[in-house]
Structure 1
Amino acid sequence: MSEEISDIKDYKWYIVHTQHGYENKVRERIEKRAKENGMTDLIVDIYIPSETVTSTKNGKKVSKEEFFYPGYVLVKMIMNDATQSMVRRTPGVAGFIGSHATTKEEGNIIPTPLSESDVARIFENREEKSKTGINEIIGMEFDIGEKVQVIDGPFNGLNGIIENINSDKGRVTVKIEIFGRSTPTELEFSKVKKL
């Protein structure tokens, strides 16, 4: 079977939304589950855009991994019901992000893979240590005037309307009604979901 899959070469990159701070754990869990389920020929690469930042704290050098896109992991895989279900059900995974709208096929929602140009831009940005690329792609998921719900932080559970999208920073400005007043609030893409 793995020979057939290698011949097909239908591997695509997908963006997986994770819980903030669990990016490395999600990578480890997906790798472990792929191995346990005999899917290592279907899920071939997991990439977390990051860099190691060294700073001095109390006179000592401290190295820390800084994620370019907190809450997101890229997975190169062949998408089918089994791989999609395995990734979605991995602890710490919130779901897939499509580069555009998802499509329905036989009742299942199929995430849209990243285009080759988007993948090239993300990996190009890795070398330049730039924070654009994924944010632009995720930002395309949202539209100005769209209703969203805050899913994390002090405004968790509140609904609002998107006023502005800043792909460079990976943030949206959402108008939230607080104490009877409409207040514009800037939030990370990962802190809101469409209604």
Structure 2
Amino acid sequence: MEKERNYKWYTLHVQSGFEDIAKENLIEVLTTEGLIDKVKEIFIPARMKALFYTKRKKVAEVPLDEDREREEVVVENDQGKKTYFTISDKKVWIENCECKTKKCLSNPPISKPRQKLKCSSLRNRAQIELRDKLFPGYIFINCDLDEKLMTTIKYKVPRVLDFVRAGNEPLEVSEKEIQAIKDKLKKGIIKVSKKSAFEVGEKVRIKEGPFVGFEGVLINTFKTFESLYKSKRVSFETIFSSIPISISSCINFPPAPCILVIFIIISLK
């Protein structure tokens, strides 16, 4: 009789900017090791979108949601020549094109981040990217965790650094918290205007530099003499740790769902 699985959600720390590759590596390694049956779901807290360009100009951005109906996106270049893209079932392909050779019509559909689809002669293209990342550098895994699975994930999967832990034990995340993140992604991230000043206690997101995308709570701000009119030195608490850094640009944003608040409360030192 097959053993009943005890699936629970955990957070994995991965290389920021490579969340999708870390997920693919997880599936590949765990399949090879015969452990994939212990994994129910791997969830990247971001939204997959198709972006459409003519040359370097972005003309459209469409979320690739599972329940999205079939949709057509027309990209027109400077000469008025058009490429007709179709979106359906989380895939994008070229339905028709006004180029002479029609070679682009034979290109296979794209469905994963980093994939591109283009008409070279008209310089119209589509590409898939992960956007609206809530927690850059982190993904969630729903699995029946044991020592072998934990060791394999930590030491054998490229781009995966480790589990987020409380002491030595991987930290569990409730189903309710995961669903709150999914709901927020589905509703879309609220874009807010940039502020010239910030107050202690405000929630902010770093928008430039090596910590781009990180979110936290402002705990101190002051100006240095050398950069009185250029930047501020800001100390902020990230989701899983407390890091003081100097920044010159960030934005404030509305309160995040309970998952962010809980992570700050149990911030690992």
TM-score interval, normalised by the smaller of the two chains:
0.5 to 0.7
Alignment CA distance shift 1:165-1:117 (3 Å): farther
Indicate the SS of the match to 2:37.
coil
Q: Give a deviation string over 1:9-45, Cα, whole Å, max 9, x none.
A: 3111111111111111111111111111110111232
Counterpart among 161, 165, 171 of residue 216 in structure 2: 171
CA RMSD, Structure 1 to Structure 2 (Å): 3.7
Structure 2: distance between partners of 1:47 and 1:120 = 11
TM-score by length of 2: 0.46
The question of whether the paired residues in 1 share the 8 Å contact of 2:204 and 2:218 is answered with no
Structure 1: distance between partners of 2:20 and 2:10 = 16
Alignment CA distance shift 1:117-1:31 (3 Å): same
Q: Which has the larger radius of gyration?
A: 2
Structure 2: distance between partners of 1:36 and 1:25 = 16
Alignment CA distance shift 1:171-1:10 (3 Å): same
1:175 CA drift (Å)? 5.7
Q: 1:66 aligned to 2:131?
A: yes
Match of 1:75 in 2: 141
Structure 2: distance between partners of 1:166 and 1:79 = 33
Q: 1:24 aligned to 2:61?
A: no
Alignment CA distance shift 1:61-1:44 (3 Å): same
TM-score by length of 1: 0.61
Q: 1:119 aligned to 2:178?
A: yes
Indicate the SS of the match to 2:13.
strand
Indicate the SS of the match to 2:185.
helix
1:94 CA drift (Å)? 2.4
Structure 2: distance between partners of 1:188 and 1:18 = 15
Indicate the SS of the match to 2:145.
coil
The question of whether the paired residues in 2 share the 8 Å contact of 1:52 and 1:66 is answered with yes
Alignment of 1:1-195 (within 5 A): 3-4=2-3, 7=4, 9-49=5-45, 50-54=47-51, 56=53, 57-58=56-57, 60=124, 62-63=126-127, 64-68=129-133, 69-89=135-155, 90-97=157-164, 102=166, 109-130=168-189, 164=201, 166=203, 170-173=215-218, 183-185=233-235, 189=239, 195=269
Indicate the SS of the match to 1:29.
helix
The question of whether the paired residues in 2 share the 8 Å contact of 1:71 and 1:190 is answered with no
Structure 2 portions without partners, runs of 5+: 58-76, 78-123, 191-199, 206-213, 227-231, 244-267
